[in-house]
Structure formats: structure tokens, C-alpha cells
Amino acid sequence: MEYWQAFVLGIVQGLTEFLPISSSAHLKVVPAIFRWADAGVSFDAVIQLGSIVAVVSYFWKDLSTITLGTISALQNKQYKSQEFKIAVAIALGTVPILFGGLLIKVFVKDYDNSPLRSLTAIAIASIVMSSLLALAEIFGQRGKTEKRQFQRVRVIDGILMGLAQTMALVPGVSRSGSTLTAGLFLGLDRVAATRFSFLLGIPAITIAGLVELLSIIKKGFGDVGIAQLAIGLFSSVIFSYLAIAWLLKFFQTHTTWVFVGYRLVFGALILTGLGLGWLK
């Protein structure tokens, strides 16, 4: 992998990790379009750590408030505090994807080359998730006065959004897209669903990235050297932060329809490219 290719893939990771369009899909499709070698799941997971640095930096105040509030709630047995509820929601919501990821590690020996990572599977997943996000936008956002803001996130929201997050183990689904869709169906407003989606993703993405980083260190860096990983991480941090800030501001005044359309077209173009032999 060339250094500039690593930088570009870091940009792709940063811009697509938090937008509901699937970073894993774009990290697979972009190299296919330009005939680059597939960097593999390990490289993708490690540069996701750059996205974690960005989201932790952006939500540092929120994370501090939740952490301190949870400690205070445990000390004073005030289990109805909102900070404690959000912490429990994140913790319980993380369990399903960790369990699902463990099953894949155990039973799928060559995940890099599995049918789940094929361009066809990515295209189908993108189209299906586009349809689900459209339904969530139509039915989940009806009745403006009924939409719940971030301060009203419940433990059950975390559990159900966590279950939806497991769908992202299939490339093309999008972790942020699946959790955002679930949040809208549950009656959260767009900004609240997006904020909680970002916070919910911190443990899962961090653990996945660290596991793959340890695996790379153990097995050796191979064609993807440490310099390329560092460059990919750097660009991922910068563009992840920009994507987070932009998306939260965007959803204050806009709907998700632009992402519904993008995902539908994205999936259709992949299938067309495969059918015409432009993509392999």
C-alpha cells in the first residue's frame, strides 16, 4: 500500500464511519474502483481507532458528565438518574455486537474473503438499509411533539439500538445507519438518535480496533506497514471529527432523505458495475 493510498482510505473511513452510509462498504468499494489491493478487515478495524479518538474528543464533555454522574449514582444509589441510565444503555447495548463479533471470529475462519464481504452482499445491504431508513423517517418521525430528545434516552433504547448495531457486522449495513434507523423507529429525534449512536459505538469500535491491532502486531504488518497504519489513523481522526460536527448540525434542520437516496444509488451502482464487469 502506498502512503497516499493509506491517507485516502483514512479520509474514506473518517467521512463514512459516522455518516449512515457504511465505512466498511466504502473501504471495500473504493479500492475495487481504483484497482487497489484490498487492505483487509484488520487495516479497516485499526484505522477505525482514529474515528474513536475523534468521537471521544468531540463528546468529551458528555462522556465526563455521564461517567461522573454514574459514579455519583452508584455511590448514592440514585439509579434513576439520567446519566446512570445512559451509561447502562451503552453498556447493555454493546453486549450484542461483542457476542456477534466473537461468533464470527470463532466460526468464520477467513472473514476477509467470506461472501459477507463481497461487493454483491454490500450492494444488497446498502439497498435494504436505505429502505429501512426511509421507513424510519416516515413512521418514526411522525408527530413532532412526540419525538424524544437526548435527555430522555432510556435503557431499552440502548438495548434495542444495540441489537440493531449487530447488523453492522455485515459490511454495507453501516453501524451508525442501523442504530440511527432503530433510534428513529423508537421515537428519538434525529439529533438525539445520532448522538446516542455515536456514544454507543465507542466501546464496540474501540474493542474491535484494539483486537485487530494486537492481531497485526502478533502476525506482522505484511504489505500494510506501520507507517501506512499511522497515516491512515491520522487522516481518519481529522475527517471523523469533521464528519461528526457536520452531521449533528445537518440533522438540526434536515431529514435523512439524502442518505436514503445515496445508499439506494450506491447499491444500484455497485450491482450495475458488477453486471457490466467494471467491478470485480
Q: Measuring CA to CA, which residue among 6, 13, 71, 61 is closest to residue 39?
A: 6
pTM above 0.85, yes or no: yes
Task: Name residues whose C-beta falls within 8 Å of residue 91's C-beta, 6 or more positions apart in sequence.
Answer: 158, 203
Whether residue 30 is predicted with pLDDT greater than 80 in this model: the reply is yes
pLDDT in tens, 202-229: 999 888 888 877 877 777 666 667 888 8
Is the confidence at residue 144, as pLDDT, over 60?
no
Q: Where in the chain are the domains? A: 3-108+118-276
- Length of the chain, in residues: 280
As a whole number, the mean pLDDT across the chain is 89
pLDDT for 216 equals: 73
CA 32 vs CA 1, 25, 118, 124, 263: distances in Å: 14, 11, 11, 17, 18
pLDDT score, position 223: 63
Report the pLDDT averaged over residues 58-78.
Answer: 94
At residue 101 the predicted structure's pLDDT band, cuts being 50, 70 and 90, is confident
